[in-house]
Amino acid sequence: MKIVIGADSYAPDINGAARFAERLAEGLAGRRHEIHVVSASTDGPARTEHVGELTVHRLHSIRYRLHESLRVCLPWQTIPESRRLLAELRPDVVHVQSHMVIGRGLAYAAADRAIPLVATNHFMPENVFGYVPLLPRPFYQAAGRIAWRDLARVFGRADVITAPTPRAIQLLQDATGLSGEAISCGIDSERYWQASQQAQPGTGPVILFVGRLDQEKRIDELIAAFARIPAGTGARLEIVGHGDQHDLLVRLAAELGVSDRVSFLGHVSEQDLLTAYGRAAIFCMPGVAELQSLVTLEAMSAGKPVVAANAMALPHLVKPGHNGWLYTPGDIGELALRLSTLVSDPALRRRMGQHSRELVSVHDFGATLDRFEDIYARVAARRSVHLLTRAA
């Protein structure tokens, strides 16, 4: 099939939605589909790139002034360009990863040309509020309702809607009235396990966080909890990723006297990321707006115990006392206790890490590709019946 994947955020961006879109495109191309990705230009000018077996159409973008690493497309350019691309490519299916500018443009263009549309939701209002000026809380609540209504207008055009977890589907239904199918983002588990097996032993247990350094990730809570772990344990904290909170978090580590035990690694290569998972002893995800958390799946694939906030979809991944613990968001003492327990007990880490490996097996990426191929075939077949009926 010829499939167009629309992603407002795509590699080299580092976030769950961007990584999923990239892995989906590469996985489908590996199954001999013709894949075209539509995303924002990384430096401004529009262009077409050929990356391995993929064709990536980069649309003209501008830098978003309130976030140094974010580039956005302009609707009045993106919508006509989406129409032009679909008229030229004539795909069997369009699959958008958001309702924002590129997703919206492709959804409208697909409807104009009666091309089947699949939409996957990675959106929560909390994930966007960090990118807008600070407003009083009542404004955020109103803005959240408006954002969900806007999503419903765009995704309401889709033949099939998906989201990564049952919790994400329930959130979507509660907020918009739209229903959908829960399909895990999936994980190629074996490569993370191999990285863990090849890791060199360190001088002390490493607690790892991977993700954007943005407000909703609550990394400040992780640093504050880590500061309560005695230096004599040899524990270290490694933070992989970049974002607007970087300087603030570096200052916090200095104020709490743990700068010498906290490493900010920034953006790393894929190989360095695998190495980071391999040498970690514990993975921590303090974020409160995770619709699945791909990085948590990656850490589980590497056989690591997980300490995570008891929020959104994280309880789908962490079974307390089995492969890790959940803690109450904002409770620094509880988080410190859970981390300290694992730091001081290597046998418990090994046992919980093995359970992580067992639990992650249901998120096999091959099964994810199977599900999406089935959806594409279904919606394409419905379109064929519709066209034949109309012709008759």
337 pLDDT above the threshold of 80? yes
Task: Work out the mean pLDDT of the chain and round it to a whole number.
Answer: 91
The predicted pLDDT at position 304 comes to 97
Q: Same structural domain for residues 351 and 213? A: yes
Beta bridge partners of 54: 51
Domains: count for the chain: 2
Q: Same structural domain for residues 16 and 159? A: yes
Q: Same structural domain for residues 47 and 114? A: yes
Look at the alpha carbons of 123, 129, 132, 136 in this order and tell me if their dihedral is positive or negative: positive
Kindly report, residue by residue over 68-104, the tens digit of the pLDDT.
667 889 999 999 999 999 999 999 999 999 999 999 9
Q: Same structural domain for residues 338 and 227? A: yes
Give Cα 190 distance to the centre of its chain.
19
d(CA 65, CA 288): 25
Beta carbons of 227 and 252 less than 8 angstroms apart: no
Residue numbers of the domain that contains 137: 2-186+364-391
Q: How confident is the model at residue 243 (pLDDT cuts 50, 70, 90)?
A: confident
Q: Same structural domain for residues 298 and 368? A: no
Kindly report, residue by residue over 107-156, the tens digit of the pLDDT.
999 999 999 999 999 988 776 666 665 566 667 778 888 889 999 999 99
Q: Same structural domain for residues 130 and 169? A: yes
pTM confidence score: 0.85
Burial class (CB in 10 A: 0-12, 13-18, 19+), 152: middle
Q: Same structural domain for residues 211 and 174? A: no
The predicted pLDDT at position 152 comes to 96
Averaged pLDDT for residues 42-60: 94
The predicted pLDDT at position 388 comes to 57
Q: Same structural domain for residues 193 and 145? A: no
In this structure, what CATH number is given to the domain that contains residue 265?
3.40.50.2000
Q: What's the token pair of residue 120?
A: 């996957």
Q: Same structural domain for residues 147 and 70? A: yes
Q: Same structural domain for residues 208 and 320? A: yes
Percent of the chain as helix, strand, coil, to the nearest 5:
50, 20, 35
Kindly report, residue by residue over 170-183, the tens digit of the pLDDT.
999 999 999 999 99
Q: Same structural domain for residues 263 and 174? A: no
Look at the alpha carbons of 356, 191, 19, 80 in this order and tell me if their dihedral is positive or negative: negative
Q: Same structural domain for residues 19 and 116? A: yes
